[in-house]
Amino acid sequence: MEDNKSVLKQWILSAIKNRNAAELKEIFETIPNIDIAEAIEDVDDVKSLLYIFKVVESEYTAEFFAELTSDQQELIISAFSDKELVDLLNESYADDIVDTLQEMPANIVSRVLKTCPKDIRGDVNRLLNYKENTAGSVMTTEYIEMKDNVTVKEAINTIREKGKDAETVYTIFVRDNKRTLIGTVDLDDLIFSKDDEVLNEIMNKDFVCCNVNDDQEDVAKMFKRYDLTAMAVVNSENKIVGIITVDDVIDIMEQEASEDIAHMAAITDMEEPYLKTPIFKLVLKCFPWILVLMVLQVFSTMILSSFEAEITKFAILAVFTPLIMDAGGNSGGQTTTMIVRSLSLDEFSGKDYGKVLFKELRVASIIGAIVGVFAFGWLMFEMSVGIVNTDSVRSLGGNYWGHLCMIAGLVGGTLFVTMLISRMVGCSLPFLAKLVKLDPAVMCGPITTTMVDIVSLITYFLLWTQIVGPILGI
């Protein structure tokens, strides 16, 4: 893949250098715009970029421009004359223009809006004013709508006239005299209907639409649920104001997945590709959460400090502390990941909390038993062959092997309890986050780890001080 990208880059740069307009046009006619944009994503020579827009038809360069990096877009806009900018904007979809402007400095935004043709400027301004990450902010205003009394023949002629300027021609949106959305017609329905039939007779009246203020993630779920390629976006009066297409949904899904992964790893969102993100920006995204989690670990420190005397008297206790904390955090993290994923896919709702909790309790019991038994055997092996120093156990005198069994049993029992509690916490936090209207991916990962660390340490030392220690006479 990288080799193909390198070859394509050299081909493009060679055509630009030799001013071979015919070859450059051939590249754009035969290769997808996204591939071309990725091949030259590190090219910052504005003269080379401008040559492309000078010789290649605008029907190709408008989409190509939308795929360029924000730095390249800014260079091009700054170098364009007003006429060139108007030509580019006329061939661009309003939602693509909005995506571009959101990454631009204020002076560039002002110039683009000032240069925009009046009809496009209205669409762009409207999209810019919708709340971020809502259906209104990602919709496009280039679609085909028709009145319900239009005949099939008239509809097909309209598609021929206006279809090239629309985001999609596969779904036609039908409205009444008051611009209220009342149905949709698929292109294949038009093709197989008689010329004199009217849209009201063949349209789908059980269509699915969304409101401008609906969250974009909910919209993506609707596309998946109803197997859609396009969906109307309506206002509070059920009047169509735009559409969302399946390519927009793919972008939404990628964005939401990236956000969730970032949150689960306790970093802020990555707006740019990793290799293009400045080092200092990466530092700013990561270190705040590290500091916050470090502060939260004060509770674990307090617990260890409280049992310092026990650890001093019997040093082997400290050896197994990291094992217990890591196992609990891993188990809780697994559960959190599964529950967050299932909630995001609407596999269950808050009403199913009891069922989920009971199921996780059974899962945790089995896992805890397996881990506890395995830990007992493994630790006996480690202590018997000298991997773990057992001098503190030997110093007790008496039944050495019996003491080793007590220590291994202490750790195994702690792990069993830790598995139970960690999976209960990991299961419950996502539901709690949903209840208080927070993104589960933001809070659950870090908080689960911290809470499980605290619980596992308390369990470990309470079992020691209340049961095992007294038995061993410590």
SS3 410: helix
- The answer for residues whose C-beta is within 8 angstroms of residue 273's C-beta and 6 or more apart is none
pLDDT computed for residue 375 by the predictor: 94
Model confidence over 166-177: pLDDT tens digits? 889 999 999 988
pLDDT computed for residue 152 by the predictor: 95
Question: Percent of the chain having pLDDT more than 90?
Answer: 36
Q: How far is the CA of 30 from the CAs of 5, 24, 40, 140, 240, in angstroms? A: 15, 10, 16, 26, 36
pLDDT computed for residue 443 by the predictor: 60
Say which amino acid occupies 372.
G
SS3 134: strand
Residue 9 to residue 5: CA distance in whole angstroms: 6
Q: What CATH number belongs to 297-472?
A: 1.10.357.20
Q: Is the pTM of this model over 0.85?
A: no
* Confidence class for position 453, pLDDT limits 50, 70, 90: confident
Model confidence over 295-335: pLDDT tens digits? 767 777 888 888 888 888 888 888 999 889 888 888 888 88
Question: Per CATH, which fold does 2-129 belong to?
Answer: MgtE N-terminal fold (1.25.60)
**How would DSSP label each residue in 229-279?**
SEEEEE-TTSBEEEEEEHHHHHHHHHHHHHHHHHHHTT-----S-GGGS-H
**293: its two tokens:** 């989690």
Residue 165 to residue 120: CA distance in whole angstroms: 12
Beta strands in 28-87 (DSSP E): none
CATH superfamily of 145-255: CBS-domain (3.10.580.10)
* Confidence class for position 124, pLDDT limits 50, 70, 90: confident
* Confidence class for position 442, pLDDT limits 50, 70, 90: low
pLDDT computed for residue 89 by the predictor: 79
Q: Largest Cα–Cα distance of the chain, in whole Å?
A: 101
Q: Which of 148-157, 283-292, 383-392 has the lowest mean pLDDT?
A: 283-292
Burial 61-99 (b: 16+ CB within 10 A, else e): bbbbbbbbbbebbbbbbeebeeebbebbbebbbbbbbbb
Residue 347 to residue 273: CA distance in whole angstroms: 31
Question: In DSSP terms, which residues pair with 186 in a beta bridge?
Answer: 171
Model confidence over 188-224: pLDDT tens digits? 999 999 999 999 999 999 999 999 999 998 899 899 8
Domain boundaries along the sequence of the chain: 2-129, 145-255, 297-472
CA 258 to chain centre: 3
Model confidence over 1-25: pLDDT tens digits? 556 888 999 999 999 999 999 999 9
Question: Percent of the chain having pLDDT more than 70?
Answer: 90
